Structure 1
Amino acid sequence: MTPVVHLSGVSRVYPGQPPVRALDGVSLDVEYGEMVGIVGPSGSGKSTMLNILGTLDRADSGDVHVDGYDVAALSDRQLSALRSRRIGFVFQQFFLAPGVSALDNVADGLLYTGLSLRKRRARARQTLQRVGLADRVHHRPHELSGGQRQRVAVARALAGRPSLLLADEPTGALDSASGAAVIKLLHELHAAGTTIVVITHDHDVARELPRQLHILDGRISADERAERSAAPAPGGAR
């Protein structure tokens, strides 16, 4: 099966004196259904990797394929469509609209799908239930805890049923208990078949992930896989 992410010899250089080689010949495959952590200190290339995986930036050289699409061959408009339909984003900051209910914060993430408001709200309600917020759909962001707001952000990313969920420092703005709850949620989503890439500098978070890619100076320095405690159940989702 074609991987959901395929990078081959990918480099990204930012101009300057001297130029900054943020990614340096990176090759990587992420299969459907995997949960991967990209781990490294500030300045290691994590953010650039996120931008390349999320098609927010283009590589200077190398091949980038996301969900089977050759990113270099797509126009900016086609890239926007790919992001809206195939990639979900969760950021450290929640980016929820103030004064708007959790239901409509999630439903508004489906504006570009062409679904009617009724269908968008129905899907938003289902997704909020999936992340454990069935009783908070009409609460506004200021009425929710930090952990609950991040769950709304996760629901918004999932509502479009993306092939790939990118989580950028998803626990960075949370206390330890709320952060642990969000990581537990991501593990539950992964167990249900969601492909997840977590970008983090937190080694405690990374250690809980089945696969860890360590990045340093724009290169992958290690690709580690945790030992499986049990065989996966047959017939798992993509």
Structure 2
Amino acid sequence: MIAVDGIAKTYQGHVRALDGVSLSVSEGEFTAVVGPSGSGKSTMLNMLGTLDRPDEGKVRIRGLDVDKLDDRALSALREQWIGFVFQSFHLSPRLTALDNVATGLLYSGRRRSDRRGLAAEALDRVGLADRKSHLPHELSGGQRQRVAIARAVVGRPPLLLADEPTGNLDSASGEGVVELLHDLNAAGTAVVVITHDPDLADRLPRQVRMRDGRIVADSAATSETAVEGGVGV
């Protein structure tokens, strides 16, 4: 579905955030990208989500070279294919849960009534059908993150990128969000979770471990090696 090949990124001050990283994510895959602070995880998410461009290397979505797209075409591609969830919920405090989710379709060309109808369906998917008219301050942290996830998936993108989605939540709320991500993945959405929590990463089918801007381990590669070597499945 999406692949980065030999990407590198250096920020002001000669900070090498990514150093020749290659990674591909297949349709329907559930992957954790894990590592300590400063390992390059969030920069990796920005590259996978086409929010930033690498200094070196290639990013491809469904085989399409992102580098050849102008900003307008890139925005359209992002809107169609990728949903984003961040540690901070980024909800508008003056909008209800329903209208916050509907903003995920603001540039889709759909009528307002259609956007709100799809937003209601998305809230139902994340278990908040009875919270549509609530403002963010009337919701718990876990519920606000569910609203943010509903907004990310309201257009049913095939790929969801989640950056520390449980970072601001207590353990019970965080567990509910992880279960929701599993449910979305089971329904066919590819999910990539960026996390510093090794326990969370170990619960996901694939773990990609980063340090100092490089991938140092990938359980998918380890599994393929084991199969090729005849070390049973």
**Where does residue 100 of structure 1 map in the other structure?**
95
Residue range with higher mean Cα deviation, 34-43 or 68-77 = 68-77
Work out which of the residue numbers 103, 107, 115 in structure 2 matches 1:112. Answer: 107
Q: Distance in 2 between matches of 1:164 and 1:192?
A: 12
Structure 2 residue 191 is the aligned partner of structure 1 residue 199: no
**Of the candidates 174, 179, 184, which is equivalent to residue 184 of structure 1?**
179
Pairing partner for 2:82 from 66, 83, 87: 87
Task: For residue 119 of structure 1, report the CA deviation from its aligned partner.
Answer: 0.7
Q: 5+ unaligned residues in a row in structure 2: which ranges?
A: 224-233
TM-score (norm 1): 0.90
Which residue type is aligned with residue 10 of structure 1? I
What residue number does 1:8 align with? 5
How do 1:128-147 residues align onto structure 2 when only pairs under 5 Å count? 128-147=123-142
Bigger helix share: 2
Tell me the TM-score normalized by structure 2: 0.92
Aligned match of 2:228: none
What amino acid is the match of 1:14?
A: Y
Name the SS for the 1:9 alignment partner.
Answer: strand
Matches within 5 A, 1:1-238: 4-16=1-13, 19-225=14-220
Shift of 1:206: 0.7
2:73 is matched by which residue type in structure 1? Q
Aligned counterparts of 1:66 and 1:199: Cα–Cα separation in 2: 19
Following the alignment from structure 1 to structure 2, what is the Cα–Cα distance between the partners of residues 50 and 126?
Answer: 27
Aligned counterparts of 1:186 and 1:52: Cα–Cα separation in 2: 21
How far apart, in 2, do the equivalents of 1:67 and 1:154 lie? Answer: 23
Q: Report the identity percentage.
A: 64
The number of aligned residues is 222
Alpha-carbon distance in 1 for matches of 2:193, 2:156: 17
